[in-house]
Amino acid sequence: MKFFIDTADVAEIRELNDTGLVDGVTTNPSLIMKSGRDIIDVTKEICGIVKGPVSAEVTATDYEGMMKEAKVLAKIAKNICIKLPLTMDGLKACKALTDKGHQTNVTLCFSANQALLAAKAGATYVSPFIGRLDDQGLDGMELIEEIRTIFDNYDFKTQILAASIRTVNHVKEAALIGADVITAPPATLKALVKHPLTDKGLSDFLADWAKTGQKISK
């Protein structure tokens, strides 16, 4: 499974990228707003930090507008992935951009039928929003499972990018189902390493080591 960071905070991206565990980054207008920076400047900096795809989202809602914005975003760096809304205009833009050789990420997916359309349009990634479905009393993981089955049935190459990840359990369940990618906030990714027994075991080992009076050195 690939790990993408869902943020436009350059400092956090650098910190996590240094672990070697980061495969890409996803951004959106809300995250850009939170960063307080110009979209081109911050996206270019992010693309220079990570080697994998960086999703940059169009803000236009019509096909022509999306294509114009996509042209601007694609010039930022070679690892830009154009993020498009799951609408008819967005799917049309996805097909056109895919045909031109661009990576695409079709976002705001809330049904298996929508994911099927994204795959038909040739999307590199489709982003089903788990947490937002859970907020509505639905089962976000059930959607991931349905999409996985459909994509496997027809050997679609579109990758399932589980988004709106809220908890470490979301990550585990997405991995068990077979999502290709998860994108999560930095805090959620950092929480994956935490376990009270790991902390206790390390504390015990260090206490015992201190009693030996030894040091590991030349």
- Terminal-residue alpha carbon distance, the chain: 39
- In this predicted model, what pLDDT tens digit does every residue of 107-129 receive, in sequence order? 999 999 999 999 999 999 999 99
pLDDT of residue 216: 95
CA distance 90 to 45: 26
pLDDT of residue 118: 98
Please say if 83 is a catalytic residue. Answer: yes
Q: Which domains does the chain have, with CATH numbers?
A: 2-212 (3.20.20.70)
pLDDT of 218 above 90: no
- In this predicted model, what pLDDT tens digit does every residue of 47-96 receive, in sequence order? 999 999 999 999 999 999 999 999 999 999 999 999 999 999 999 999 99
Catalytic pick from 83, 95, 120, 194? 83
**Bridge partners of 25?**
5, 54
Question: Taking a C-beta distance cutoff of 8 angstroms, is the pair 193, 202 a contact?
Answer: no
- In this predicted model, what pLDDT tens digit does every residue of 125-161 receive, in sequence order? 999 999 999 999 999 999 999 999 999 999 999 999 9
pLDDT of residue 64: 98
Closest to 183 in 3D by CA, of 46, 2, 4, 1: 4
- In this predicted model, what pLDDT tens digit does every residue of 175-184 receive, in sequence order? 999 999 999 9
